[in-house]
Amino acid sequence: MTDFGLQIEPAFGFDYEEVLELAQSLTPNGFSSIWASDHFMLNSGDPDRNCMEAWTLLTALAATVKEVRIGSLVTSASYRNPALLAKMAATVDQISGGRLEFGIGAGWKDVEYKAYGYRFPSAGERVRQLEESLEIIKSLWTKPISTFHGTHHSVVDAVAAPNPVQRPGPPILIGGSRPRMLRIMAQHADVVNFVPQPDPEGYADSMRRLEEMCEEAGRDFESIRKTHLLTLLTGSDEADVQARLERVAERDGMTTDEWRRKRSRAFVGTASDARDLIKRYTDLGVTQFMLVFPYKEEAESIKLMADEVIGQV
């Protein structure tokens, strides 16, 4: 059975009522989860655009929307002290009754780091920070008291309670695709998501490399859930696709050609084409998709996916 979730990009401009309405529409339309990316702004040139903080948003959804699982795709390990993040995640898992999916990555958006006063270290240092964060988070979820001394993070006699509802903790989803990230996935991930969004050939390559890393780590490759983040602009037929494309391009102040160039990772095509694409990923072992739709097109796109894609792949 293939699972589908909705990915919310808070930096697109959402207010809470918009997200809540979408979240409440998911279960009737065959979606099983809602996800939020972890950003503070779209860019400094658009100061009036909303960008809700991800963990605050997830907490509200955990308390309000009872059917779907909720997750971060993905939390930047740099933005929060790992012991605090472990407590936040355990609290959200408690509030949700055990429905949290804990997505985390090394962080990447340098303009955001600088704007909000975070040091932006090298990629290698960010990966090492992530490794230490995962050690602390997993310890706090599984031990009553934790002590850890690392290069970047330390805790001394940190009390864990309350524990997450899920034991030994919420599923850990790690996002990335570079060799060091694949090695961390092999060691720590319950779920993987290869980002930035690869095409099927790129996904297959990442799968091969992850399997090699799992063999080196003595980890069962098949025990890891494989997921894919997919940006879709889709319609019931070619005319519908073109109408939607024109609408979203105009909303973003672009021509349709400009929109396609700037959103080069987005799939643009009919629902039938989307089914074919999704099938190519499921043939590779993907069992869960997190779908991103153009802003303001989410409600219609959810319904279209329910009617013409979900249940047919």
Inter-axis angle of helices 82-96 and 123-142, nearest 10: 50
Banded pLDDT at 312 (limits 50, 70, 90): confident
* pLDDT tens digits along 238-293: 999 999 999 999 999 999 999 999 998 999 999 999 999 999 999 999 999 999 99
The predicted model gives 292-310 an average pLDDT of 96
Q: Residue 57's closest CA among 116, 12, 114?
A: 12
Count CA atoms within 13 Å of residue 92 on its CB side.
Answer: 26
C-alpha of 234 from chain center = 21
Banded pLDDT at 43 (limits 50, 70, 90): confident
- Phi, psi at 137, each rounded to 5°: -60, -50
Q: Distances in Å between the alpha carbon of 290 and those of 43, 142, 231?
A: 23, 28, 8
The predicted model gives 124-131 an average pLDDT of 97
As a whole number of angstroms, the distance between CA 36 and CA 11 comes to 10
Inter-axis angle of helices 54-64 and 82-96, nearest 10: 20
Domain extent listing, the chain: 3-233+266-308
Length of the chain: 313
Please report, as a single letter, which amino acid is at residue 189: A
Q: How would CATH label the architecture of 3-233+266-308?
A: Alpha-Beta Barrel (3.20)
Mean pLDDT of the chain: 96
Q: Is 57 exposed, middle or buried (0-12, 13-18, 19+ CB in 10 A)?
A: buried
Q: Model pTM?
A: 0.96
Cβ atoms of residues 23 and 61 within 8 Å: yes
End-to-end CA separation in angstroms for the chain: 8
